[in-house]
A and B are shown apart, each in its own frame.
Chain A
Amino acid sequence: MSLAEPILSVRDLRVEIPTPHGVVKAVDGIDLDVPRGSALGLVGESGCGKTMTLRAIMGLLPGRAHISGGEVVFDGTALSPDSLGRLRGDSIGMVFQEPMTALNPVMRVGDQIAEGPRVRLGQSARVSRERALDLLRLVGIPDPERRYRAYPHELSGGLRQRVVIAIALASSPQLLLCDEPTTALDVTIQDQILHLLARLRAEMGLSQVLVTHDLAVVAQNCERVAVMYAGRIVETGTVAEVFGSPRHPYTRALLRSVPDFDDRRAQLESIAGMPPDLITPPSGCRFHPRCDMAHPDCASVDPPLKALGPGRGTACRYHEELARSG
């Protein structure tokens, strides 16, 4: 799987947001590879740059945010503002966090799904309508003929998110970028949507990038994971490797701060301090002010993401010490 050429590779991607207080380096030189037919989880806390990464790939950066460096290669072609226009919503689909705001409130959901095939692929109204009905069935919406005519407010959160997924699938993309696809949903509905995404991956070979702050969602639904902190990727690997034996103190701290009902602990371990300001990030390793095993030189040496093996990397210079301490 990892031998084949990845469907998406990101090299040294940088996103900057100019503000009156200075330039926020929201994404600061990250590398990512999404293998074909698999799901990559991108996790981190709010403000770590995970959504900005996704939006940069899709060319949907908000406001004055812009890509200031790096390249994104999709299926062998480097993406540029020109080629993005063709690929976006065609070969690459996107699922947004909040299904109510992602949908047009005054347009029937069926027409919203049919719009893509009609406008982008030039299909007739009748053909695109059939396509939309097929998609409604594919994403598991009961009674598609009736739901086609519904407006978003008439649907529940789970059904709305299914509609958003159907829109993203309308032009048969090879890659689906999902930005917190289940954060706004209840746990039983989240379970249904995640099963739907898993089915699309298994049946259609649809590659996926899942951005979320929920480690457990990634643990159960992705093959690979990249952990982001302050605009950088600090650890990558398979889910079993990263969650089973983390090799970065931030990953380990995150795992220890999550309450897990399989294992009730007296005290949760929290991470001291706050995520850094990305206008003037800390010198050296960005995590060193909050790290429980920081060495004196962590404040001066900026550690790159170092390969530990194929597809496994950590940005901690003392990862061996971490592995020994367990």
Chain B
Amino acid sequence: MADTNWTTLLEVRDLSMHFPLNDSLTRRMRRKQVDVLRAVDGVDLTVARGEALGLVGESGCGKSTLGRCIVGLYEPTGGQVLVDGQELPSRREPADRRRLQMVFQDPYSSLNPRMTVHQAIGELLRVHNVVPRNRVDERCRELLDLVGLPPSALDAFPRQFSGGQRQRISIARALALEPEILIADEPVSALDVSVQATVLNLLSDLRQRLGLTMLFIAHNMAVVRHVCDRVAVMYLGRIVELASGDELFSNPRHPYTQALLRAVPRIAPGHATQRDAVTGDPPSPVNLPPGCRFNPRCPRAADVCRVEDPPLERRGEHAAACHFAWSDPGREP
């Protein structure tokens, strides 16, 4: 899976996205402190060519913001995004935008309701000069075929499709620009399970056929397990653990990952627990706790955790940001 021979295609270096809150001229003139929401706070990531990296975490952990920074929808407040070793400016040129495309969560709001499928995809093909003008229609049909929709869908409006079909249209639209990297932000969480399966199968299939590199953002651990080679776990704007899917799910080192995995309900019998996997709610990303961000909820927290923020420490292909990730395996909670 995480083969070291793979070449890095996407690299994120120390990326931060801080949103100022209650910022106003009067506050500034009175020299009042402006609160800052640290949605993404120093993230390093690499994604190899042809790899699917999963990004999991609970709502508000910054996973979608990270995806949006990478694709260029937000201008990050710090750090760099590199594709193939070249830094992409935060204000992207059309040529840069073509390299990274995104599939959004909600197929009901991410398609223009007044444009037919042909108009939506055709516009992109023309603006970016992907194919000569006289081949636009042909290319639209090819793209629909790629995602398993009939050519008759071209002249229909989004409202005429079901959720799963709309998500196929979103995928076709993202693929129209022949991107190297596809960022899928919760592409199946708005869909029913039976439909979810068809979209997940389509994404796996497209990855193999087109050699796509994928950043797959999701909160559903089982879905990520199914789709991705490697998985990164985010908590309050930081990556707390990163490993291959098999390794992460069988041998989680960070107490947060362990809690997440315990909390996921399973169909197979014998997994029901009596105790809560983790107590309390995540702290606000405006007032972060000192030391390790997970310490107020962590069953293993020691004094050092309340003072010192643990870095993401690597052991081979497995990395975890916990003071006790490697040193104390006997202290499983």
Interface residues of chain A, those whose CB is within 8 Å of chain B, are 45-46, 156, 158-159, 186-192, 194-195, 213-217, 219-221, 239-240, 243-244, 253-255, 257-265, 267-271, 274
Interface 9-residue window, one of B4-12, B265-273, B306-314: B265-273
A residues less than 8 Å from B196 (CB atoms): 257
Q: Are B279 and A192 in contact (CB under 8 A)?
A: yes
Q: Are A194 and B225 in contact (CB under 8 A)?
A: no
Q: Are A194 and B58 in contact (CB under 8 A)?
A: no
Out of A159, A187, A264, A268, name the residue touching B200 (CB < 8 Å).
A268
Known: A268-B201, A268-B226. A187 touches B263 (CB 8 A): yes
- Complex-state Cα separation, A274 to B221, whole angstroms: 26
Interface residues of chain B, those whose CB is within 8 Å of chain A, are 58-59, 162, 192-198, 200-201, 204, 219-223, 225-226, 245, 249, 259-260, 262-269, 271-279, 281
Q: Are B260 and A187 in contact (CB under 8 A)?
A: yes
Most buried by A among B194, B262, B264: B194
Give the top 3 A-B pairs by smallest Cβ distance, nearest first.
A191-B263, A216-B265, A268-B197
Q: How far is the CB of B219 from chain A (nearest CB, A)?
A: 7
Known: A258-B193, A274-B162. A220 touches B265 (CB 8 A): yes
Q: How far is the CB of A124 from chain B (nearest CB, A)?
A: 34
- Complex-state Cα separation, A217 to B58, whole angstroms: 18
Known: A258-B222, A259-B226, A264-B225. A220 touches B266 (CB 8 A): yes
Q: How far is the CB of B83 from chain A (nearest CB, A)?
A: 29
- B263 closest partner in A (C-beta): A191
Known: A159-B281, A268-B200. A45 touches B193 (CB 8 A): yes
- Complex-state Cα separation, A156 to B263, whole angstroms: 18
Out of B59, B259, B272, name the residue touching A220 (CB < 8 Å).
B272
A residues less than 8 Å from B58 (CB atoms): 186-189
Q: Are B192 and A195 in contact (CB under 8 A)?
A: no
Q: Are A260 and B222 in contact (CB under 8 A)?
A: yes
Q: How far is the CB of A2 from chain B (nearest CB, A)?
A: 20
B residues less than 8 Å from A267 (CB atoms): 201, 204
- A202 closest partner in B (C-beta): B274
Q: Are B193 and A257 in contact (CB under 8 A)?
A: yes
Q: Name 17 A/B residue pairs within 8 A (Cβ), A-sorted.
A: A45-B194, A156-B281, A187-B219, A187-B260, A188-B260, A189-B58, A191-B277, A215-B193, A219-B266, A220-B265, A254-B194, A257-B193, A258-B267, A260-B222, A261-B222, A267-B201, A270-B198
Given A158-B281, A220-B265, 6 further pairs, Cβ under 8 A: A186-B219, A220-B272, A257-B193, A259-B200, A261-B249, A264-B225
Q: Are B266 and A254 in contact (CB under 8 A)?
A: no
Q: How far is the CB of A210 from chain B (nearest CB, A)?
A: 12
Q: Are A262 and B263 in contact (CB under 8 A)?
A: no
Q: How far is the CB of B302 from chain A (nearest CB, A)?
A: 21
- Complex-state Cα separation, A260 to B204, whole angstroms: 16
Q: How far is the CB of A238 from chain B (nearest CB, A)?
A: 11
Q: Are B249 and A216 in contact (CB under 8 A)?
A: no
Out of B262, B265, B276, name the residue touching A214 (CB < 8 Å).
B265
A residues less than 8 Å from B277 (CB atoms): 188, 191
Q: Are A191 and B281 in contact (CB under 8 A)?
A: no
- B265 closest partner in A (C-beta): A216
A residues less than 8 Å from B222 (CB atoms): 258-261
- Complex-state Cα separation, A219 to B271, whole angstroms: 10
A residues less than 8 Å from B204 (CB atoms): 267
Q: How far is the CB of B52 from chain A (nearest CB, A)?
A: 13
Q: How far is the CB of B133 from chain A (nearest CB, A)?
A: 36
Q: Are A213 and B192 in contact (CB under 8 A)?
A: yes
Known: A192-B276, A264-B225. A217 touches B265 (CB 8 A): yes
Out of A213, A260, A268, name the residue touching B266 (CB < 8 Å).
A260
A residues less than 8 Å from B192 (CB atoms): 45-46, 213
Q: Are B267 and A219 in contact (CB under 8 A)?
A: yes
Q: How far is the CB of B267 from chain A (nearest CB, A)?
A: 5
- A261 closest partner in B (C-beta): B225
Q: How far is the CB of A200 from chain B (nearest CB, A)?
A: 14
Q: Are A187 and B221 in contact (CB under 8 A)?
A: yes
Most buried by B among A221, A243, A253, A257: A257
B residues less than 8 Å from A219 (CB atoms): 265-269
- B60 closest partner in A (C-beta): A186
Known: A186-B58, A191-B276, A192-B279. A220 touches B271 (CB 8 A): yes
B residues less than 8 Å from A260 (CB atoms): 222, 266-268
- Complex-state Cα separation, A195 to B262, whole angstroms: 13
Q: How far is the CB of B84 from chain A (nearest CB, A)?
A: 30
B residues less than 8 Å from A213 (CB atoms): 192-193
B residues less than 8 Å from A45 (CB atoms): 192-194
- A271 closest partner in B (C-beta): B194
Q: How far is the CB of B234 from chain A (nearest CB, A)?
A: 12
- A266 closest partner in B (C-beta): B204
A residues less than 8 Å from B200 (CB atoms): 259, 268
Known: A188-B277, A253-B194. A262 touches B266 (CB 8 A): yes
- Complex-state Cα separation, A307 to B24, whole angstroms: 68
Q: Are B267 and A215 in contact (CB under 8 A)?
A: yes
- A263 closest partner in B (C-beta): B268
- Complex-state Cα separation, A156 to B282, whole angstroms: 9
